[in-house]
């Protein structure tokens, strides 16, 4: 096999509960991931060394040196296999960069699956998940997709059943937000308020809404503990969220660490109309309709 193409989805966090700051600098999380139909494609081709090139909407914002997470994933896979392998990775970018939708993690997951096929390793998903967990908290979910709750740093996953398809609109912002800066701002705001930070727990009502496919109930229970920090760093996101609510969104939330804003719609038609309204009124530079849950990294 001389070339393998893998399609890998973006995610939205329908619940992101952030516990107290730990001594190691991380936080314990309850993180409900939901994979949506905005996809990157990762192509792996035979080559001597491991390199990456990127094309698409945000290609100029993606590093192509050793800091690229897809390169790190391919190298970690080769190390796990105990041999020296090569691959030219080509990423077709559609997921926003630093947008709170796990675009870099998606590309890492895509690289793991593509190189596993290209090199004929035949490693099982459990092995890929172990490697993914070492690469980053969101990478394991990008492998499996669907809907899942992540605990620990978010990498310990349990799949969640969903009772139907949910329809979303994502308002894509100009410029990204550093996840580390958003967490640091969250910690600063908490310290400033001097309030006790509770241990994160899974929202049972949200779980029920996912299980029954009830979009109205899900919209009422969307939550993100990082949202105040993201809004503090990017105040313009507040009017975007308000506009989505005014145009009938069942729920409006900053996705992950932001700055992408996610809006839950009633159905596909409502999602399309909501996306058009957000762009027509100038509330969003770009708004994209999508649905979920969808599969994780998949060879196509």
Tokens representing 284 are 């969003």
Q: Please, are residues 33 and 150 in contact by the beta-carbon 8 Å criterion?
A: yes
From residue 110, alpha-carbon distances to 31, 41, 113, 160, 190 in Å are 21, 7, 5, 22, 36
Q: Is 138 a catalytic residue?
A: yes
Q: Please, are residues 69 and 106 in contact by the beta-carbon 8 Å criterion?
A: no
Q: Please, are residues 280 and 247 in contact by the beta-carbon 8 Å criterion?
A: no
Query: Given phi > 0 = left and psi -120 to 50 = alpha, else beta, which region is 296?
Result: beta
Catalytic residue among 40, 93, 107, 138: 138
Q: Is 126 a catalytic residue?
A: no
Other C-beta atoms closer than 10 Å to the C-beta of 129 total: 18
Q: Tell me the catalytic residues.
A: 11, 138
């Amino acid at each position: 096999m001389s070339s393998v193409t893998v399609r890998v989805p973006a995610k939205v966090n329908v619940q992101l509960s952030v516990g107290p700051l730990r001594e190691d600098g991380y936080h314990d999380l309850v993180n409900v991931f939901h994979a949506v139909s905005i996809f990157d494609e990762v192509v792996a081709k035979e080559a001597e060394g491991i390199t990456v090139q990127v094309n698409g909407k945000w290609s100029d914002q993606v590093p192509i040196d050793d800091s690229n997470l897809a390169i790190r994933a391919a190298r970690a896979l080769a190390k796990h296999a105990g041999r020296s392998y090569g691959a030219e990775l080509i990423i077709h970018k559609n997921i926003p960069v630093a947008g709170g939708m796990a675009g870099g993690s998606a590309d890492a997951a895509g690289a793991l699956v593509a190189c596993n096929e290209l090199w004929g390793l035949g490693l099982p998903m459990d092995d890929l998940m172990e490697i993914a967990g070492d690469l980053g908290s969101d990478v394991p979910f990008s492998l499996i997709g669907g809907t899942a709750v992540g605990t620990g740093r978010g990498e310990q996953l349990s799949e969640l059943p969903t009772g139907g398809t949910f329809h979303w609109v994502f308002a894509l912002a100009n410029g990204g937000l550093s996840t580390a800066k958003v967490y640091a701002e969250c910690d600063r705001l908490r310290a400033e308020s001097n309030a006790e930070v509770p241990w994160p727990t899974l929202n049972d009502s949200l779980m029920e809404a996912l299980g029954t496919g009830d979009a109205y109930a899900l919209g009422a229970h969307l939550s993100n503990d990082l949202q105040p920090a993201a809004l503090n760093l990017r105040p313009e996101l507040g009017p975007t969220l308000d506009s989505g609510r005014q145009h009938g969104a069942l729920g409006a939330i900053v996705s992950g660490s932001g700055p992408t804003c996610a809006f839950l719609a009633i159905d596909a038609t409502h999602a399309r109309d909501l996306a058009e309204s957000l762009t027509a009124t100038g509330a969003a530079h770009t708004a994209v309709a999508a649905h979920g849950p969808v599969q994780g990294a998949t060879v196509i």
